[in-house]
Amino acid sequence: MAGSPIKPWWRRWFGTRSERAVARYLRSRGHRIVARNWSCSLGELDLVTLDGGCLVFVEVRSTEDADVQRPAQTVREAKQHRLTRVALAFMQRHRLLDRLARFDVVAVSWPAGNRDPAIQHHVNAFPAVGQFQMHS
């Protein structure tokens, strides 16, 4: 079924596996997980965490390749616009507009033969994009 909006089961499994690894990684660095796969009509947030008093919207990118740089580079301007709109909706819905917030990108690489992934965390990876402004 070409063009189906439903991801193949293995892509969903791979994405979930990567998000779990990132959640463990962030918890080990003091983040508190607030939400996983939060969605609204505008889109989805992979993870929302608290890092001290800062609300962090985490975009998880993963690959089976050994290159941990490439996945992070796929969060381009259109994706940043979407994430900004969804993050603002999250903050409005949960009455968190007075919170400091930032966007992090965490790249996960699962090379063949490795049990554990390589993780690269890009803190404050991009500013809020578009007509909305958030402060970090």
CA distances in angstroms from 93 to 6, 40, 88, 90, listed in the order given: 27, 10, 9, 5
Per-residue pLDDT of the chain (136 residues; tens, 9 = 90+): 444 455 675 567 566 888 999 999 999 999 999 999 999 999 999 999 999 999 999 999 987 665 666 666 778 899 999 999 999 999 999 999 999 999 999 999 887 777 888 899 999 999 998 755 555 4
* DSSP per-residue letters across 54-89: EEEEEEEEEESSS-SHHHHTT--HHHHHHHHHHHHH
Q: Which CATH number among 3.40.800.10, 3.40.80.10, 3.30.70.890, 3.40.1350.10 corresponds to the domain 9-126?
A: 3.40.1350.10
Scanning the structure block, which residue is given the tokens 């975009």? 59
- Give the predicted TM-score (pTM) of the model: 0.84
Mapping DSSP to helix (H, G, I), strand (E, B) and coil, where does residue 18 land?
Answer: helix
Six-digit token pair at 119? 């993780």
